[in-house]
Structure 1
Amino acid sequence: MTNRFSRVVDKIKKLPKFTHSMLFTKLFCSQVKYAGTSKLTVLDIQARQVRLQMKNRKSVQNHIGGVHAIAAALLAESATGIVFAMNLPDRCLPLLKTMTIQYQRRMQGDLTAVATMSAQQIALLSEDKGAIDIEVIINDESGEQPILCQMTWAWISKKA
């Protein structure tokens, strides 16, 4: 299934590969302004998987020098939201319904998020409305998962 967002992503992929991350990031941050304030970087967008990164910069740090809890939540929401948006029909409106985050330990260095949707989840998007859980794996520079996240994304038909 293609939608307006996925068609723009496909056009970017026809450009030289070294431009993809920068252009994906600009595209996303032009629509989600708050993501731009935290300087999220969209590393890659595929139909079923998205990879984002958040550098451990001073502007997103907490009082102990790690990435702030809410900045990590933004990373998780953004990754799941992009993969969801890649597959949602244009006739539908996406809505974040719930966000579940369990902080396991202190985050060390930069964070990388990978959000994935299954073929079965994508098939559900043909319905007029519904909700699905999208898991996202966030690793820090140690290679470990300092937080466990799951986002429930819902959709409804846009009003005509």
Structure 2
Amino acid sequence: MSAPLLTLYRRITAWPGGHWMFSRAVCLRAPYFSTITPRFVSLEPGRCEVHMRDRRRVHNHIGTVHAIALCNLAELSAGVMAEATLPASMRWIPKGMTVDYLNKAKGTMHAIATPEKPLIESTSGYEWPVLVNVKDAAGTEVFRARILLWLSPRKPQAT
């Protein structure tokens, strides 16, 4: 069975304007991410692609995309990928992130989040590393993040 977020993505994106609507829905659930105005391009178990358009609001003082905007893009794509991948019996939370700024980030950014290791359904918590590569419109990798997610079993709901 698909994760609820993945099911929503598949339903909404079947309609014209669906990618925009899905992106807005995610930002309503997690409002901070609306600061980068993301646009989800693709979502499937183990992979999430998100665009961030070039806008003045994400620039730094030298006119390139701000480092923290790139971090937001990475965290968003990794988190949504995890949400679409995990079985209902598991949950996640970010534990840490390391980043590499590889080139000047100018223009539209394209992030792809994929796990480094296969998902294991477990009765105890463990770290699950996710790699996020961010490229510019020319295909040059400008930023890379490795995000450690802590996966653990969901606690049963009290009745």
Interval containing the TM-score (normalised by the shorter chain): 0.7 to 0.9
2:53 equivalent in structure 1: 55
Q: Structure 2, unaligned stretches of length 5 or more?
A: none
2:133 equivalent in structure 1: 137
2:122 equivalent in structure 1: 127
Q: Measure the CA separation in 1 of the matches of 2:126 and 2:18.
A: 32
Cα root mean square deviation, aligned = 1.8
Task: State the AA in 1 paired with 2:9.
Answer: V
Deviation at 1:75, TM superposition (A): 0.4
Q: Measure the CA separation in 2 of the matches of 1:30 and 1:95.
A: 19
Q: Measure the CA separation in 2 of the matches of 1:121 and 1:55.
A: 31
2:76 equivalent in structure 1: 78
Q: Measure the CA separation in 1 of the matches of 2:78 and 2:3.
A: 17
TM-score (norm: length of structure 1): 0.86
1:11 equivalent in structure 2: 11
Task: State the AA in 2 paired with 1:130.
Answer: Y
> Pick from 6, 17, 20: which aligns with 2:18?
20
Structure-to-structure mapping, 1:26-45, within 5 angstroms: 26-45=24-43
Deviation at 1:63, TM superposition (A): 0.5
Deviation at 1:55, TM superposition (A): 1.3
2:87 equivalent in structure 1: 89
SS at match of 2:97: strand
Q: Which has the higher helix share?
A: 1
Q: Measure the CA separation in 2 of the matches of 1:71 and 1:149.
A: 12
CA gap of 1:117–1:20, structure 2 versus 1, over 3 A, is farther
Deviation at 1:33, TM superposition (A): 0.7
SS at match of 1:152: strand
Q: Measure the CA separation in 1 of the matches of 2:56 and 2:150.
A: 33
Provide runs of 4+ in structure 1 moved above 3 Å. none
Contact 1:108 1:142 in 2 (8 A): no
